Amino acid sequence: MENANLLAIAKEFGSPVYVYDSSTIVSQYERLTNAFKQVKHVKLNYAVKALSNLAILKLMNSLGAGLDTVSIQEVKLGLLAGVAPNNIIFTPNGVSLAEIEKVSEMGVQINIDNLSILEQFGTKHPDVPVCIRINPHVMAGGNSNISVGHIDSKFGISIHQIPHILRIVENTGMNINGIHMHTGSDILDIDVFLYASEILFETAKNFKNLDFIDFGSGFKVPYKEGDIETNIEEFGQKLTKRFNDFCKEYGKELILGFEPGKFLVSEAGYFLAEVNVVKQTTSTVFAGIDSGFNHLIRPMLYNSYHGIINISNPKGRERFYSVVGYICETDTFATNRRISEITEGDIIAFKNAGAYCFSMASNYNSRFRPAEVLWHNNEAHLIRKRETFEDLTKNQVDVDIFTKVTEPAS
């Protein structure tokens, strides 16, 4: 997308506003599928938690992707978007047996990540196909907050508990049709991921009727010029050879599964905000915008980097700004960032705003969540209206239980 397109969207739909470029999503999907074109059966299940707008789910469905879901609500969104139940996998963490059973009744693939629920579900529903999530005890990402494969993670069943899994499967007679792992986001070293994959292959040998092996995702995307990113092509080449060899050893053509989220949508997203005020202190120039961590929490929560450009003055003289929000707390997007000169009323754009941005937005400070726009075939389509005051209050119950306190008569 060009600056002129983004400025036109901000003018038409107001700010702040999220914008997603469908062509980037399609390009990333094709890049990943092409990297594994030598595998007979590949299944990409888009991680709904990254960006759950129905329009995005419909786009993924049109590309042939399935969905990776973590809540019954995400499952229902997928079904509402027209995704077939057998193209949805349910990979929750810490949910009740009742929720898993409700999702199972919908015909969705179940993925279980703890021994307790595995035994309970297998005892009650031995004929329902179940995938098992393994924790390989490998930390493939660089950020401990988003790495979920390490030994202290709450996710997955430890590889050291394989004997317990096998005992449960034998005692219940349950049907295990898949093995899964997810090491976490921002995979930096392909060889570390391949090492974790070997653990998954060894685990898979314990189960004789598998249909698929799901390697999770967590591919790193670049956030700034010269940034490290996962070399998908090299990764595809190396894992393809190993996977095909394993299928020969196993005696069956299995499905190679992934669940990309950030990789597909991160770079497709822009977050546009208007500059309310430029404020100079004795040491800092602040650019205060009409948004805050209620709309984009990643910089405050994960110390994440998002490129920031002044699309109203992209070729202006660069100065150093600390970009801050309007929330009544420390609310910083960037500190002393070099940006083209900013004046009040300018529109700035945050890059890499497609994944885990709107989906983590809130109404903190009673602010409205922003609109969402999809840029598709060179046209802007509103895919979520901006919230209104009525949206803030529609679920609140007005109770008349308070008695007005009056001053006693003198």
pLDDT-based confidence at residue 145 (cuts at 50, 70, 90): very low
Q: What is the pLDDT of residues 311-343, one digit of tens each?
A: 999 999 999 999 999 999 999 999 999 999 999
C-alpha to C-alpha distance for 129 and 174, rounded to whole angstroms: 8
pLDDT (average), residues 122-127:
97
Three-class DSSP category at 64: coil
Flag whether pLDDT at 148 surpasses 50: no
Q: What is the pLDDT of residues 201-239, one digit of tens each?
A: 999 999 999 999 999 988 889 998 888 888 999 999 999
Are residues 88 and 227 located together in one domain of the fold? yes
Give me the number of domains the chain comprises. 2
399 within some domain: no
The residue from 131, 247, 328, 357 that is catalytic is 328
Q: What is the pLDDT of residues 62-111, one digit of tens each?
A: 999 999 999 999 999 999 999 999 999 999 999 999 999 999 999 999 99
Residue finishing a domain among 238, 265, 292: 265
Are residues 227 and 94 located together in one domain of the fold? yes
Q: What is the DSSP string of 321-383?
A: EEEE-SSSS--EEEEEEEEE---TT-EEEESS-SSSSGGG---GGGPPPPEEEEEETTEEEEE
404 within some domain: no
Are residues 204 and 121 located together in one domain of the fold? yes
Are residues 105 and 235 located together in one domain of the fold? yes
Are residues 63 and 186 located together in one domain of the fold? yes
Are residues 259 and 153 located together in one domain of the fold? yes
For residue 11, the number of C-alpha atoms closer than 13 Å in the C-beta half-sphere is 9
Are residues 52 and 123 located together in one domain of the fold? yes
Would you call 357 a catalytic residue per the annotation? no
410 within some domain: no
276 within some domain: yes
Q: What is the DSSP string of 96-140?
A: -HHHHHHHHHTTPEEEE-SHHHHHHHHHH-TTS-EEEEEE-----
Flag whether pLDDT at 147 surpasses 90: no
36 within some domain: yes
Which pLDDT score, from 0 to 100, does residue 407 have?
Answer: 67
Are residues 273 and 208 located together in one domain of the fold? no
Are residues 186 and 334 located together in one domain of the fold? no
Which pLDDT score, from 0 to 100, does residue 259 have?
Answer: 95
Are residues 251 and 117 located together in one domain of the fold? yes
403 within some domain: no
pLDDT (average), residues 333-361:
98
396 within some domain: no
Flag whether pLDDT at 246 surpasses 80: yes
C-alpha to C-alpha distance for 77 and 335, rounded to whole angstroms: 37
For residue 302, the number of C-alpha atoms closer than 13 Å in the C-beta half-sphere is 17
CATH of the domain at 48: 3.20.20.10
Are residues 259 and 349 located together in one domain of the fold? no
C-alpha to C-alpha distance for 68 and 89, rounded to whole angstroms: 5
Are residues 175 and 281 located together in one domain of the fold? no
Total Cβ atoms within 10 A of residue 27: 14
Residue finishing a domain among 225, 240, 265: 265
Q: What is the pLDDT of residues 177-200, one digit of tens each?
A: 999 998 765 677 788 888 889 999
Which pLDDT score, from 0 to 100, does residue 211 have?
Answer: 98
CATH of the domain at 330: 2.40.37.10
15 within some domain: no
Residue finishing a domain among 265, 289, 307: 265
Q: Domain residues for 305? A: 266-387
